[in-house]
Amino acid sequence: MLHILALFSFLLVSSSHAAVQDFCVADLTAPQGPAGYSCKTPAEVTADDFVYSGLSQPGNTSSLFNAAINTAFVDKFPGLNGLGLSMARADIAPGGVVPMHTHHGASETILIAKGSITAGFISSDNTVYLKTLKEGDIMVFPQGLLHFQVNTGRTQALVWVSFSSSNPGIQILSNALFSNNLPSELIEKTTFLDDDEVKRLKALLGGSG
């Protein structure tokens, strides 16, 4: 009987700390290590840690690409920490583009909420998978593969995006080539672009060298 009472007491004490096992809300005030963010103590966690309202308003599409991307990654939404998912909102004006890019840490799924876009990805054997999507269509981009979206319709497009990571990472191909100080002659040799075009793109995207 004493053993049963002791076990019951242990379970009651353990259940009071169960939140530690349920989630790991990111402590954004602490340094981020290779494994991600450390956890807030349960006493510091509130309902607001699990709610994010930053995707409610349309983004400003008056940009170079005529598109706006607003993310809900763990650095903005601490309740996502450790859960392996996140979201984003893409507003794309007619003719706008989400340029060729990759997410090294996640696969991506897009849902067309308004408008029509053409989207696609390129596999590692250079096969192109391309589709024009309408409202309600969903498309998936496997992890690490180059992909893009272009608004080929006549109206503003709204795309909801989900990722299989709370911090998927992103590398935009054009920025990787032309937004830094990689010497122009090396870009020319590795891309077969001529000097004038490389310099034009560097000037457009803020690169040097």
Task: List residues forming the annotated binding site.
Answer: 101, 103, 108, 147
Question: Nearest 5°: CA angle at 54, between 53 and 57?
Answer: 100
Specify binding-site residues for Mn(2+): 101, 103, 108, 147
DSSP string, 70-116: EEE-TTT-GGGTTSS-EEEEEEE-TT-EEEEEE-TT--EEEEEEES-
User: Which of 103, 81, 76, 80 lies closest to 33 in space, CA to CA?
Assistant: 81
Specify binding-site residues for oxalate: 103, 108
**Residue type at position 157:** A
Q: Classify each residue of 8-18 as buried b or exposed e, where b means 16 or more C-beta atoms within 10 Å of its C-beta.
A: eeeeeeeeeee
Whole-angstrom distance, CA of residue 109 vs CA of residue 48: 26
What does the block give as tokens for 148? 């893009």
Is residue 1 helix, strand or coil? coil
Whole-angstrom distance, CA of residue 23 vs CA of residue 197: 50
